[in-house]
Structure 1
């Protein structure tokens, strides 16, 4: 009888990797929450391809190199980070654990890395900034530009380092497995209601006594009293602006005085246009496989985009990272750092803040071990000669 079984209990210290934290998360939170966290669009081809593309990158290590001391640190916008990682912007995190966004921020702060907060998070951006984390604020292209400018101004006053404009939501991706959990918009079917009633740890963390999480950064957009996750979802979907174009990027560049990143770039020509408009950085992403299915994986096009924009522009990659070695591969192929959404969210869903801390600890130790085995004592020395990447 096979003895290989993933741990599914509640102690994050027992998790050996991100996959095990995922199993723990599935055991703790309701099915509808886990499906929202874990699923992808349509047939989930992009979701699988994101992982397969990282697996296709292989290492070519050096030997007989002194790696007794190793440094994972690198620079991002002129300031040092402890490892080339950023917590990616993700919404509705209050459904995974009470004030989950604050837990992500505190764990990122303690790990010496930035956090990019989602506009549809359930903790105010001011509270996240007050945590002391290096703070980036993600925004969606809502039709109401006046109130959108208000969120940007709030981020400026609070002290956010960067604004990250998400550009790949002209329409919401078709996440069929997520939709199957509901009998009507935001109304769970019977099977899921029964499942919720059995998740005692989650119930007494999220719903009792706090109630349904609320969108703390969207008050000006929403009708009075409609800021709960249950009531606001349909309204927010109607606010997404499919007319978003490069003129809006120029408008935001003029409005925002600090670092500006455009998230959703997958083409070298788009990357060049962003650079010409004065954008400071790009996030090369396919939205984690949650939007367009059968889409190119970011790691596949990262070298082309780096070649197009040159060494001076900051490039961040996300989508599909599950191992510390993935972050090293991203650095080797041209990224300054990599964002991870699901990896840290699995930790959050599994065990709250200790789970996030464990996820970051796992990724850090895997990066460190990868450097040692590559014969590379410093993260900043990683380059294309450390990897082999099959041609497209």
Structure 2
């Protein structure tokens, strides 16, 4: 991977190596993808102040998130079906994150189960929870995360119903799944390295669900059950219920409005993630970076504010921190690496972003993450 210089390089390799259905699942957004594009475009509009003749010989990229030291201001975000991008993908991504000294977040909709990942990594990881209509199953998931010693619970709060992603429907990622279309089979067979890895993996179903529900142990039945579990009645009282079960650190992911951020403070959660679900839910919503400053100003002194939405470079990380984020979640950026080269590809993605951040800090005249603030942003 010595000739790979940026996340886009990894994206292009991922696109060649992974079947179209799974590449599109990660790469695309909902409806016309206006919000998906805005996340990237608005980050790129933010320009830096270049500073000179500052001693930048002691640059340090480490910070703390929820009291724990991290080597980078990065967190691997929960991404559903990661294990379909690369065999045992969740395990490989978690190992790469832990080697880099940053948190990894396992999705409820992972291919490898909580127990699979816990048995194959060295340290605790974060677990992301979708609140389903079957509260008994949700409680059991939380208890399994506790048993696996997960160090934080990330509660996704912006998925009461699913925004339509056109490419997924066309590719057969529907309910019930129609992945065995002729065009998909031909595509799968044309990717022998990917296919071999998937077939050797621990699971090809949603590991946290299959086998844990009576009669829901094949992909079609699990997908149908999940589709029936979107809960339109989900509200703030459910956060209180989860808080009563989960004894550890709680993070609310999907906050995109100042009023909701203030309500999040009252739940007792330790952190929130400013996020529009990567442009995969409400199309036409503003970019995450455009709403970050107001949310950080409103609640940043009372809970940690994390950021998610469009990060593709170390420069983007710097922009988000300058606008008020404590640390940043990345999803697509590390998945591109995973699809391109497994665990080594994720490590490469993290190394690229870290080096870009270090250089950007130096050219802006700052040595530490806690020195990054509005002063690094050019006016106008």
Smaller-chain TM-score bracket: over 0.9
TM-score normalised by L of structure 1? 0.92
Q: What is the aligned partner in structure 1 of residue 363 from structure 2?
A: 373
Cα distance 1:205–1:220, how it changes in 2: closer, same or farther (>3 A)? closer
Displacement of 1:345 after TM fit?
0.3
Displacement of 1:212 after TM fit?
6.2
- Runs (5+) with no aligned partner, structure 2: none
2:204 counterpart (213, 238, 241): 213
Cα distance 1:211–1:147, how it changes in 2: closer, same or farther (>3 A)? closer
2:26 counterpart (29, 34, 37): 37
Do structure 1's residue 111 and structure 2's residue 111 form an aligned pair? Answer: no
Distance of 1:123 and 1:195 partners within structure 2: 23
Cα distance 1:124–1:255, how it changes in 2: closer, same or farther (>3 A)? same
Q: What is the aligned partner in structure 2 of residue 336 from structure 1?
A: 326
Cα distance 1:366–1:40, how it changes in 2: closer, same or farther (>3 A)? same
Contact 2:258 2:294 in 1 (8 A): yes
1:152 counterpart (130, 142, 167): 142
Contact 1:29 1:96 in 2 (8 A): yes
The 3-state SS of whatever aligns with 1:260 is strand
Distance of 1:307 and 1:34 partners within structure 2: 36
Do structure 1's residue 199 and structure 2's residue 180 form an aligned pair? Answer: no
- Runs (5+) with no aligned partner, structure 1: 1-11
Displacement of 1:245 after TM fit?
0.2
Displacement of 1:389 after TM fit?
6.9
2:317 counterpart (314, 327, 347): 327
Contact 1:139 1:166 in 2 (8 A): yes
Cα distance 1:16–1:35, how it changes in 2: closer, same or farther (>3 A)? same
Cα distance 1:244–1:389, how it changes in 2: closer, same or farther (>3 A)? farther
Cα distance 1:229–1:58, how it changes in 2: closer, same or farther (>3 A)? farther
Q: What is the aligned partner in structure 2 of residue 90 from structure 1?
A: 79
Cα shift readout 1:104-146 (whole Å, capped 9, x = no counterpart): 1000000000011101112222343451345111000111111
Q: What is the aligned partner in structure 1 of residue 166 from structure 2?
A: 176
Displacement of 1:378 after TM fit?
1.1
Distance of 1:86 and 1:211 partners within structure 2: 24
Q: What is the aligned partner in structure 2 of residue 74 from structure 1?
A: 63
Distance of 1:105 and 1:139 partners within structure 2: 17
The 3-state SS of whatever aligns with 1:59 is coil
Contact 1:89 1:116 in 2 (8 A): yes
Q: How does 1:7-86 map to 2 (within 5 A)?
A: 12-86=1-75
Do structure 1's residue 186 and structure 2's residue 177 form an aligned pair? Answer: yes
Q: What is the aligned partner in structure 1 of residue 374 from structure 2?
A: 384
The 3-state SS of whatever aligns with 2:228 is helix
Q: How does 1:284-299 map to 2 (within 5 A)?
A: 284-299=274-289
Number of matched pairs: 377
Cα shift readout 1:197-245 (whole Å, capped 9, x = no counterpart): 21111111113x5586122222476343x33445422221111211100
Displacement of 1:295 after TM fit?
1.1
User: Over the residues paired in the alignment, what is the CA RMSD in angstroms?
Assistant: 1.8
Cα shift readout 1:155-179 (whole Å, capped 9, x = no counterpart): 1222111111111111111100221
> After the TM superposition, which of the residue ranges 133-142 and 182-191 deviates more from structure 2?
182-191
